[in-house]
A and B are shown apart, each in its own frame.
Chain A
Amino acid sequence: MASNLADYKTEVHNDWCPGCGDFGIVSAIQMALAEMQVPRHKAAIFSGVGCSGKTSHFINTYGVHTLHGRVLAFSQGAKLANPEMTIIAAGGDGDGLGIGAGHFVAAGRRNVDMTYIIFNNGVYGLTKGQASPTLKLGLKTKSLPEPNVNQSVNPIALAIASGYTFVARGYAYDVRQLKDLIIAAVKHRGLSFLDVLQPCPTYNDINTRDWFSGLDNIDEMTNKPMPRIYKLEDTGYDPLVHIDSPEEENEKLTQALIKSNEWDSKIPTGIFYKNEIIAPYDERMAGRIPNYLENPPAYQEISSGGKSITNISKMLDALEI
C-alpha cells in the first residue's frame, strides 16, 4: 500500500516559534520519506535535545528523542543492530558540534550507512539564545550580553576531515532542494551529513531569513537584493569522487574544503563531497562476519522454548584441562 505525505505526519502539536526554519526541515524529511516510499515501520528518526530534538515526534515513523549530544550514539547502535532500518539522525548545531562533537568526529570514521542532519542556527534557542559553536566570532545576537568570543566551527569542513562520505548543505526555506538533498543523503551508501542553515527567528537576529536573501545587500546596478545563498550545482561543481585514486580524492576533498569556507557574501548549498568508494561500516563488518547482513543482531534467534540455542562447547573445550 502506497503511503502519501500525510501518512508521515503525526498529530502532535508543534510548539516551535512562528517562522522557525525547523518547520521546513521537518516537511522536507516527510516529503523525502513519502517520495522514497520508505515503509513507516522501516524508518526511524533519532533526535538530540533542543528545539530540533522534537523533530522525531512530528514524523510518523519510529521516533527516538535521545539525549543532548548523543543522537549519533543511539542511532548508530540501532542501525548496526538492524541494518534494514532507514535511519535519520537530527539535532542542533550545539547538540552535534558542541556537546556531541566527539561523536560527530568518531561517526565519520565509521561511515555507518545513515543520515545525519544538523539544524544550524548559531544559537542555543531552547535555553534562550546563547552562542552556539557555529556563531561567528564577534557577533552579538539578540540575547548575548557581550559579543561572541569564540571562533566558529565549520561543520562542512569538520565532516570532511572526519571522514563523512557524503557532505551537503541545505537551506531551511528552500524545502524542495532540501527534500532532494535528503533523498540523495539517504540513498548514499555510507554516512551522509547535511548541514541545514535554519534561521532562528527569535534569537538569531543577524543570520535571518532576510540576511540570507540579501535584503541588506542591494546591487547598485539593478537595485535588487543579492541573495547570499547559491547552489553549487548551478556553477558546474562536481562533488563526486569518480575513481579510486588518491589524486582524485585529494582534488575533491580540497575543492570541498575551499567551498566550505565561503560565507558572508556567498554561501554555497548542495552537495560538497560524495565518495562511495570508501566501504560503509556494514560492509566492513560483513568482511568479518560473513552473514552479518542476512542475519544481523536484531534478527538472530537466540532461544527455543526458553533454552539457549547457542553452542559454546568449542569455547569451553578450549578451556577444559
Chain B
Amino acid sequence: MSSIDLTWVIGGPQGGGVETAANIFAGACAGCGLKIFGKREYYSNIKGEHSYFGVRVSDKTIRSNVSGITMLVGFDSETIFRHVEDVFDDGAIVYESELTGMKMDEVHTLDAQFKERLKKYLTSKNKPFTIQGLLDEAKERGITLYPVSFREILANLSDETKNPKIRGMFRMQNVLAVSVSLGLLGLPPDTLLKSVGTIFSRKAEIAEMNKVAANYAYNLATVKYSKFKYQLPQIPKEEHTMLVQGFQSTSLGKIACGCRFQSYYPITPASDESVFLESNEIFEVENNRPGSTLVVQTEDEISAIGMIIGASLTGTRSSTSTSGPGFSLMAEALGWAGINEVPIVVTLYQRSGPSTGLPTRHGQDDLLFAIHAGHGDFPRIVYASGDTEEGFYDTAKCFNFADVYQIPVIHMMDKFIASTVSTVPRFDSTKITIQRGKLLEKIEDAGYKRFTPSPDGISPRSRLGLENGIFWNTGDESDQEGHISEDPENRIYKMDKRAHKLDLALEQIPKEDQAINYGISDFCIISWGSAKGPILDGIDMLKKEGYKVGFIQIKMLHPFPTGYVQSLLSGVKTIIDIEANQAGQLGSLFNEHLDRKVDYYILKYTGRPMTCNEVFDSVKKIIDNKAEKKQVLTYGV
C-alpha cells in the first residue's frame, strides 16, 4: 500500500459549522486508524467572517501542516475565492454549484488587500473575477471539480424522508459537505456515521437527522461522481489514541497534577483552557473524596494573578491562564510572587502582538517579555512546550518547578498548539510525578521563620492556616520573618537567596527536560515551542533528499541552559534559528548566552503557523548556500 498524505480544507462563515464539520471529518479519519493534524484559522469576530479548518490526514506520524490543499470544500463563495489558489494541481474542489456566477466584489467580507492580489492573479491568467473564472483556471491546472448543489440535496432529502423541515435546514450544509467529501475519498460510511453521532452526542434528535443527511450525501457522492484519485485507506488502529485539541492538554495536566485553583479573565486563545476546567470541575480521586478545581472568572488579569497568589499562600496548587495582553497586566504581581517566593504557574498561550495585534492568530512573540516581565531582579522559570503531548506532561513539571523552587513559572504555549486538533497517544498520568518541595504539613514548635536560611537557599514553606506557621509577606524587601527591612546586609542575603534558585534549577532539572536533542549535524536548527512540529516534518523531508540537518529544541528558556546547549553545539558549523516572531527572540538569547552567534534566521510573523514545506524550502536554501541571512515565511491566508 502506498503512503497517503492529504490535506482537506473546509471553509465557511464564522458560526456556520466549519468547526463541527472538521471535527466530524477528523473523527471519521481517526476512526479508520489514520493520523490527524488539523488547525483552525479564524478572525476576531463572532459571526460572518471567514473561518477555515485544515485537516491533514496520513498513515504516518504528522506534526504540522503543509503548504497546499488536496481537497477544498466550500459551501460559501468566500472559501472558493480565498483558497482556490492553494489547491494542488492534482487536487479537488467540492463547491456549491449554484454559486459559480458570484463576482468577487459581491463578497463583502473579502478585504481590499486580498481582492487586489487575487485580481492581479486572475488578470494574469486572463480570467474574469468570478467563481467560474477561478474554477476554470483550476480546471486548466488539472484540478478535479465536484459541483454539488447542497440546496438540491436538502430538497431531495426532504421529499424522500417526507420531512418538509429539512428543505430549509441550511445549517446542515456542513455535514453534507463532509459526507460528500468522505464519499469521494472512499472512507467507509460507518466511520462517518459514528463520528456524526459522537459530535452530536448531546442532542439525540439532531444526531439522528444529521446521520440521515450524512448517509444520503455520502451515497450520492459515490453514485453521482467518479472517485477522487486519492483514496483514504482503513489501517489498523493504534490502541489508546486520542483526538485532542491542544488547549485540552494543559487543562488535563492541571487536573492530574493537583492544580485546584484557577482564575482567569476571558482572552483568546487562553480561555478555552479555563472553560474546560470549569466544565470538568469535579473528578474522582483514588481512595478519597471527590476532588474539585475552583475556577474563578475575575474582573481583569491583575485580579487573576492576585487571586492565585492568595490561593497559593494556602498551600493550594494554583494557576492562571492568559495571553500576551493579559500577561502584560500581570507583570507587577509576578514580581510580588518572586520577592515572596510564592509558587504560581502562569500558562501563557501566546498570540500575535504587539498590543491587540492579530488577536486570533498565532505567534511566538512573548519569549523575551516572559523572561523579563516585572521590575527588579527576581527569579522565574520560563518553560515552553512544543506540542499537545508535551503540554500535558510539561504542565505537571511546571507545577513541580514552582513548588520545589518556590518561584513563579511561566509555561509558554501558543495559539498554534491551542487550536490544533491531532491524534496523540492517550495521556498517562502515572508518568507524572508530584513534588511539593519544602511545603510543610505540620510545624511542632514556635519560632518558625518563613525565610530562614538553609543550605540550598530554599526555606521550609508554611501555609495559611497552619498552627505555629504564622508568617508575613510584603512586596517590600523583608527580613527572615517577612517584615519590612531596608537593612543592607539583609538585602544582600535575600537577593542572593532568591537568585541562587536559578543555579539550583539548572543543576537539578534533568538535561533532557531543559533541551531536546534530535540529532546534531553540521547544519543545526535551534528552536522552541510549537515550531517543533513543522521543523521535525521538514527535517524528514530534507532527509529524503539526502540533506542532513540537526535540531535542538530548547524547553527551558530561563534560566538558559547555556552549558548544555554549548556542549551540544560544539561540532556544529551553522546554526539556524527558526521561530514565529519578527525579532528572532530565541536567536537573541543565543547571542546573549553563547560564545557564538546564530548564522541564519527563518522567521514567520504573519500570524499563520509555519508549514513543513516552508521549513524544508528555507533550510534547503541555506544548505545550498543560496539563502539570505534572514528568511521571512509568508504562506497561508
Q: Which A residues are within 8 Å of any B CB, using their own CB?
A: 10, 12, 39-42, 44, 46, 49, 54, 56-57, 60-67, 70, 72-82, 84-85, 102-103, 105-106, 285, 288-289, 291-292, 294-298, 300-304, 306-312, 314-316, 319-321
Contacts and interface: CB of A to CB of B under 8 A. Distances in A.
A8 B475 CA distance: 22
Nearest to A321: B30
Given A81-B318, A306-B434, A316 B242 contact: yes
B299 A309 contact: no
B252 A312 contact: yes
B4 interface: no
Given A49-B475, A67-B475, A102 B308 contact: no
B465 A312 contact: no
Q: Among A49, A302, A315, which residue has the most Cβ atoms of chain B within 10 A? A: A302
B464 A44 contact: yes
Contacts of A298: 311, 314-316, 463-465
B244 A41 contact: no
B11 to A, nearest CB: 25
A25 to B, nearest CB: 18
Contact of B472 (A39, A63, A300): A63
Contact of A289 (B292, B304, B318, B484): B292
B202 to A, nearest CB: 12
Contacts of B288: 301, 309
Interface in B288-319: 288-294, 296, 298-300, 302-318
A76 B310 contact: yes
A56 B240 CA distance: 53
B489 to A, nearest CB: 18
B325 interface: no
Nearest to B28: A321
Interface of B: 27, 30-31, 237, 240-244, 248, 252, 255-258, 260-261, 263, 280-294, 296, 298-300, 302-318, 332-333, 336, 396, 423, 426-427, 429-430, 432-436, 463-476, 482-484
Given A297-B318, A303-B434, 12 more contacts: A64-B310, A77-B261, A77-B309, A78-B311, A81-B294, A82-B464, A106-B299, A292-B292, A297-B314, A308-B434, A309-B286, A310-B255
19 contacts: A12-B483, A61-B470, A65-B484, A67-B306, A70-B303, A70-B306, A70-B333, A74-B307, A77-B307, A80-B294, A81-B310, A81-B311, A84-B465, A103-B299, A103-B306, A298-B316, A302-B291, A310-B255, A310-B284
Contacts of A70: 302-303, 306, 333
Given A316-B427, A320-B426, A302 B257 contact: yes
A310 B285 contact: yes
Given A105-B299, A285-B294, A320 B434 contact: no
Contact of B433 (A40, A63, A306): A306
A77 B305 CA distance: 9
Q: Is the interface of A mostly helix, strand, loop or mixed?
A: mixed
B281 to A, nearest CB: 6
B303 A73 contact: yes
Given A65-B476, A80-B311, A303-B434, A54 B316 contact: no
A289 B304 CA distance: 21
A308 B292 contact: no
A303 B436 contact: yes
Contacts of A103: 299, 302-303, 306
Nearest to B34: A321
Q: Among A67, A103, A292, which residue has the most Cβ atoms of chain B within 10 A? A: A67
A99 B305 CA distance: 16
Contacts of B433: 306-307
B274 to A, nearest CB: 15
A288 B298 CA distance: 18
B470 A319 contact: no
A73 B314 contact: no
Contacts of B484: 54, 57, 65
Nearest to A70: B306
A225 B283 CA distance: 66
A102 B265 CA distance: 13
9 A-B pairs with the lowest CB-CB distances in the bound complex, closest first: A73-B306, A302-B258, A77-B310, A77-B307, A106-B299, A65-B474, A78-B310, A81-B311, A303-B434
Nearest to A105: B299
Contacts of A301: 285, 288
A291 B466 contact: no
Contacts of A42: 465
Q: Is the interface of B mostly helix, strand, loop or mixed?
A: mixed
A117 B64 CA distance: 55
Nearest to A79: B310
A302 to B, nearest CB: 3
B258 to A, nearest CB: 3
Contacts of B237: 321
Contact of A320 (B240, B282, B475): B240
Nearest to B311: A81
B291 A66 contact: no
B299 A310 contact: no
B283 A312 contact: yes
Nearest to B304: A73
A84 B287 CA distance: 24
A81 B294 CA distance: 8
A128 B8 CA distance: 66
B248 A308 contact: no
A41 B252 contact: no
A312 B255 CA distance: 8
A8 to B, nearest CB: 11
B607 to A, nearest CB: 28
A67 B472 CA distance: 14
Given A41-B465, A81-B294, A314 B284 contact: yes
A319 B248 contact: yes
Contact of A78 (B242, B314, B435): B314
B257 A74 contact: no
Q: Among B309, B314, B315, B468, which residue has the most Cβ atoms of chain A within 10 A? A: B314
A297 B27 contact: no
B385 to A, nearest CB: 18
A315 B255 contact: yes
A170 B34 CA distance: 70
A84 B314 CA distance: 11
Nearest to B476: A65
A308 B298 contact: no
A41 B469 contact: yes
B31 A85 contact: no
Contacts of B283: 310-312, 314-315
Contacts of B281: 288-289
A13 to B, nearest CB: 9
Contact of B257 (A62, A63, A78, A308): A308
Nearest to B433: A306
B36 to A, nearest CB: 9
Given A54-B484, A64-B473, A320-B241, A82 B316 contact: yes
B299 A321 contact: no
B316 to A, nearest CB: 4
A295 B291 contact: yes
A83 to B, nearest CB: 10
Given A292-B292, A320-B242, A321-B27, A81 B260 contact: yes
A80 B296 contact: yes
Contacts of B289: 291, 294-295
Given A81-B294, A105-B299, A298-B465, A308 B472 contact: no
Contacts of A307: 430, 432-434
A309 B473 CA distance: 32
B316 A297 contact: yes
A42 B473 CA distance: 16
B464 A85 contact: yes
Nearest to A99: B302
A306 B311 CA distance: 22
A77 B308 contact: yes
A80 B242 CA distance: 34
Contacts of A56: 472, 474
A319 B291 contact: no
